[in-house]
Structure 1
Amino acid sequence: MNKSYSIVIAGGGSTFTPGIVLMLLDNLDDFPISRLKLYDNDEERQNKIAGACEVLIKERAPYIEFLATTDPKEAFSEVDFVMAHIRVGKYAMRELDEKIPLKYGVVGQETCGPGGIAYGMRSIGGVLELIDFMETYSPDAWMLNYSNPAAIVAEATRRLRPTSKVLNICDMPIGIEDRMAQILGLSSRKEMIVRYYGLNHFGWWTSICDKAGNDLMPAIKEHVGKFGYIPKNEQEQAEASWNDTFKKAREVYQLDPDTLPNTYLQYYFYPDDMVKKSNPDFTRANEVMEGREKFIFGECEKIVRAQSSADSQIKIDDHASYIVDLARALAYNTGERMLLIVENNGTIENFDPTAMVEVPCIVGKNGPEPITVGRIPQFQKGLMEQQVSVEKLVVEAWIEKSYQKLWQALTLSQTVPNARTAKLILDDLVEANKDYWPPLAEKNLQPSL
């Protein structure tokens, strides 16, 4: 374990970057780093974050070479890992992703429904560009991609960069497993061995045991049935939308009490409820811009001014520790068991072999080996078939520049009530995304009779 690794964080201007840098610095004994670079195409935004990160590194590990750059060659040369969390269009476009569907009484959410489709159409090109930079300048590197919407991005990388060393990952199941561990009174989610299957933001836990093989599901189910994923001793979070999400798991769970659900299923099972509790003038994007974004930029400015993090309120991003686990598994062949988004290829026996599914995998130096799931019930199979078709149609629409396929994708989404509403939303999204999406060719439609 003598080698030190070189990492570039793509999306260096993200408000999550300082927490990830702190997390990497906190894990240097397990995963040594010799060089850490930030890359972003927005120099002004990245500079706000980079100045603070430089101070954090000088304080904790001054031997680490640090660089923030907008030059792809400088960023991607001589790196072992690319950690990618980009947001094409930033929060201004997320706000439109959420507000345009709500205008038509449809779920306005970052990764689910029309908002997720719009974001996916923007993300595909950005992620492919990062893969190409990596393969040009560091062809042996691995990309750990946690850019959203992960399901659409994963399908795009499967179709368009099938041989690339890219692993698509998501921290939402990790966050829920942290809560499960709290519910059980465990010190860490790593005390649990889980079985899970689905698509990204669209899955179910089927088994949770401790390391001695004792079944932990009954205790978690009993709690979730009463309180959702809110541990009894937890204080309500400042962000009310997350409290609502974790409470709503009570109702989502009732649809299949044999399993435990991913919280994002609320958008597909109860879309009307989600719309009713949304404020079309102040969505989650506004909450983030007014809250976390202002807070992180303010804290970074404070660190740079003082050239010290002594009074900083920025916290280590514990959820992001799974990124280090994944990098270590690839670097040291640890055989870590992790949830990843991989091509199905028979892992779920009665499901599309080309679907990108989220399942536990054993990870070593050659990448992930999915753990077989077997056959899944009709309820989950039907839901997943509909949702994976949405994701595939979005990627086909991007490749073919097809308005028709994107309209079909929106119509097929369980969050959208009918094709007419889908078209109204799509037309608004096309206009809003003209600087980001490929231009879409519309087939000649027959006039209505």
Structure 2
Amino acid sequence: MKKQNLVIAGGGSTYTLGMIMSLIAEKDNFPLKSITFYDIDAKRQERVAKATEIILKEKYPEVEEFNYTTDKEEAFTGADFVFVQIRTGGLEMRAKDEEIPLSHGVVGQETCGPGGMAYGMRSIGDMIELINDIRTYASEAWILNYTNPAAIVAEALKREFPNDNKILNICDMPAAIMVSFAGILDKEIWDLVPEYFGLNHFGWFTKIRDKEGNDLTDKLKGHILNKGFAPEDAEIAEDPSWKKTFKQVERMLTDFPEYLPNTYLQYYLYPEKMVDKVDPEYTRANQVMDGREKRVQELSDSITEAGTTEGADLEVDIHGRYMVRVAASLAYNIGDTYIVIVENNGIISNLPDDAMVEVPAQLTSNGPKPFAVGEIPTFQKGLIEGQLAYEKLVVDAYFEQDYNKALQALTLNRTVVDTPVAKEILDELIEANEDYWPELK
């Protein structure tokens, strides 16, 4: 089994240590020759990298080389895989993405509604530049992108790189939900076979089966309706905000019992409730800065100061394991099934072919082989078409520098709807993002 050369773009991310622990947990399935971190923030990256050196020395000595750099050529030359997890503007801009809509009584969330548009408009340019840099030095590397908002980023990358078949956009949220399904069913997530359709952060599980073909969907629905639903992945299990998010699945399933929903649908189905539960003076971004970010930085520092991982609270999370298993299936032609984002091309027969949809696909060394979904019901189709139009208009607005298309996008979005409110929010987002967005005319 060939050992891979891996680059993690966004090496200073708060998710990096979890990714490293996932790589260690999966080292027999995805063996590595080298790991390289790349980030534009040298100081932030170094803090995580110094701890990673110690972790690898103690837990993954088989890795022959570990480097961290801000130099593109050094980072990407010889790469087999690049995992991309960048956040343009950092958590400080995420806070503005959330605060501005909330000040107008509109959902403030990093990937949904106006906040998602703001984040997407910032991400597109940096993602295009990064892909070009990778391709300059590693023309055949697999690029696995989980930079948010994945739907908008995937749409933009499809337009900019239409013939690059080794870019795959992925989200770990379906997997995080499936971890909780597995807990209910007393199984491992890898034992479950999902049927799923939608857009990123906008989809539904239609069936959950085990590998023997047994349909477990009704059992799951019954448990959720009678006993509730809670996060179980290590990264989010004790997070109060995520507990409330998973609790909302019970409400969604009560109102719309046909399918098991993605948790993010709460923002589109109950926008007023989502606004009411958030403190606009202390948003989710503030919680992350005071919570996960601080915790990861302190953990990194403590490992570095101690010179050992002994006693360190290092967790393997589904975010990392899912990405690593996807990479292994691509690298070694395993053909396992994962939920990924691909161009529709008839998969969902009553949606446009050029839609970037999130569906199960068999992953081989030749890329994803998605399974046909067929026609979807009118309710889900209508919701998806509105969201898809919003996503496409956001990307149009970016490439065409078109103010009116950005306004159309926000007006279409179910979290906003009202045109005057959309305009007020858009104008404030433009001012807040003047260093990141193209000038809209």
Q: 1:447 corresponds to which residue?
A: none
- For residue 221 of structure 1, report the CA deviation from its aligned partner: 0.6
Contact 2:51 2:304 in 1 (8 A): yes
- Cα deviation 1:249-296 (Å, max 9, x = unaligned): 111113331211001000000000000111000011011100111111
Report if aligned partners of 2:231, 2:237 keep a CA contact under 8 Å in 1: no
Q: Which residue of 2 aligns with 1:154?
A: 154
Q: Give, as a single letter, the amino acid of the residue that structure 1 aligns with 2:147.
A: S
In structure 2, how many angstroms separate the alpha carbons of the residues matched to 1:201 and 1:101? 19
- Structure 2 distance, partners of 1:141, 1:325, is 16
Q: Which runs of 5+ in 2 are unaligned?
A: none
After superposition, the Cα gap between the structure-2 partners of 1:228 and 1:427, relative to the gap in structure 1 and judged at 3 Å, is farther
Q: Distance in 1 between matches of 2:14 and 2:120?
A: 20
Conserved? CA contact 1:227–1:250, under 8 Å: no
Q: Give the deviation of 1:421 after TM superposition.
A: 0.2
Structure 1, 107-116 or 304-313: larger mean CA deviation: 304-313
Q: Which residue of 1 aligns with 2:174?
A: 173
Following superposition, the deviation at residue 61 of structure 1 comes to: 2.7
CA distance in 2, matches of 1:211, 1:56: 35
How many residues are treated as equivalent by the alignment? 437
The AA in structure 2 aligned to 1:217 is T
SS in structure 1 of the partner of residue 30 of structure 2: coil
Instruction: Tell me how far apart the structure 2 counterparts of residues 415 and 231 of structure 1 sit (CA, whole Å).
Output: 24
Retained in 1: the 8 A contact 2:101–2:108?
yes
Change (3 A) 1:231 1:421: closer
Q: Could you list the per-position Cα deviations for residues 298-357 of structure 1 after superposition, in whole angstroms to 9, with x for gaps in the alignment?
A: 010011111111121131223321111111111110011010000000000011110000
Task: Give the 5 Å matches for 1:316-335.
Answer: 316-335=316-335
Pairing 1:226–2:226 present: yes
Report the Cα distance in structure 1 between the residues aligned to 2:16 and 2:136, rounded to whole angstroms.
Answer: 24
Q: Which residue of the partner structure matches residue 6 of structure 1? A: 5
State the AA in 2 paired with 1:263. T
Paired position in structure 1 for 2:24 = 25
Alignment deviations for residues 169-220 of structure 1 (CA, whole Å, 9 cap, x no partner): 000000100101111122x012111100000000001111112221101110
Secondary structure of 1:162 counterpart: coil
Greater shift, 18-27 or 100-109, is seen at 18-27
- Name the residue aligned to 2:50: 51
Are residue 91 (structure 1) and residue 87 (structure 2) matched? Answer: no
Q: Give the AA of the match of 2:387.
A: Q
Give the C-alpha shift of residue 125 in structure 1.
Answer: 1.0
| CA–CA distance in structure 1, aligned partners of residues 307 and 412 of structure 2 | 52
Distance (whole Å) between structure 2 residues aligned to residue 296 and residue 192 of structure 1 = 31
Moved more, 71-80 or 57-66: 57-66
Deviates more, 1:378-387 or 1:327-336: 327-336
- Map of 2:136 onto structure 1: 136
What is residue 283 of structure 1 aligned with on the other side?
283
What residue number does 1:185 align with? Answer: 186
TM-score by length of 2: 0.97
Give CA-to-partner distance per residue, 1:8-56, whole Å, 9 cap, x none.
0000010100110111122222211111000000111111111111111
Q: Which residue of 1 aligns with 2:33?
A: 34
Contact 1:221 1:260 in 2 (8 A): yes
| CA distance in structure 2 between the partners assigned to 1:185 and 1:216 by the alignment | 12
Structure 1 residue ranges without an equivalent (≥5) = 442-449
Residues 80-127 of structure 1: per-residue CA shift (max 9 Å, x gap): 000001000000000000000000000000100000010000011111
Once residues 26 and 360 of structure 1 are traced to their aligned partners in structure 2, the CA distance between those partners, rounded to angstroms, is: 24
Q: Secondary structure of the residue that 1:360 maps to in structure 2?
A: strand
Q: 1:11 to 1:231 in 2, by over 3 A?
A: closer
Supply the distance in 2 between the matched residues of 1:439 and 1:54 (Cα, whole angstroms). Answer: 42
Shift, 1:229, TM fit:
2.2
SS of match in other structure, 1:109: coil
Q: Is the 8 A contact 1:296 1:314 kept in 2?
A: no
Structure 1 residues 373-421: Cα deviation after superposition (integer angstroms, max 9, x where no partner): 0000000000000000010001111100111111110110000030100
State whether residues 172 and 318 of structure 2, in contact with CA within 8 Å, keep that contact through their aligned partners in structure 1.
Answer: no
CA offset at residue 226 of structure 1? 3.0
Conserved? CA contact 2:17–2:52, under 8 Å: yes
C-alpha deviation, 1:136, in angstroms: 0.6
CA distance in 1: counterparts of 2:300 and 2:431, whole angstroms:
35
Contact 1:228/1:248 (8 A) holds in 2: no
Aligned residue identity for 2:384: M
CA distance in 2, matches of 1:354, 1:339: 18
1:337 aligns with 2:342: no
Q: What is the alpha-carbon distance in structure 1 between the residues aligned to residue 18 and residue 381 of structure 2?
A: 37
What amino acid is aligned across from residue 139 of structure 1 in structure 2? S
Separation in 1, partners of 2:432, 2:397: 17
- Cα RMSD, aligned residues only: 1.4
Alpha-carbon separation, structure 1, partners of 2:375 and 2:13: 40
Mapped contact 2:144–2:167 kept (Cα < 8 A): yes
CA distance in 1 between counterparts of 2:20 and 2:237 reads 24
1:207 match: 207
In structure 2, the residue corresponding to 1:44 is in which secondary structure? helix
Q: Mapping of 1:206-355 within 5 angstroms?
A: 206-230=206-230, 237-355=237-355
Cα shift readout 1:109-151 (whole Å, capped 9, x = no counterpart): 0100000010000011111112111111000101000000000
Q: Distance in 2 between matches of 1:12 and 1:385?
A: 36
One-letter identity of the residue aligned with 1:47:
E
CA distance in 1, matches of 2:254, 2:245: 15
Residue 206 of structure 1 aligns with an amino acid whose one-letter code is T
In structure 2, the partner of 1:391 is 391
CA contact (8 A) 1:57 1:64 kept: no
Check if 1:196 corresponds to 2:199: no
Could you say which residue in structure 2 is the equivalent of 1:432?
432
Give the share of equivalent positions with the same residue, in percent.
51
Q: Distance in 1 between matches of 2:366 and 2:413?
A: 35
Give the conservation status (yes or no) of the 8 Å contact 1:227–1:247: no
1:231, CA displacement in angstroms? 7.6
Which amino acid letter does the alignment assign opposite residue 31 of structure 1? Answer: F
1:237: Cα distance to partner? 4.5
- 1:99-118 superposed matches below 5 A: 99-118=99-118
Distance in 2 between the 1:92 and 1:352 partners?
36
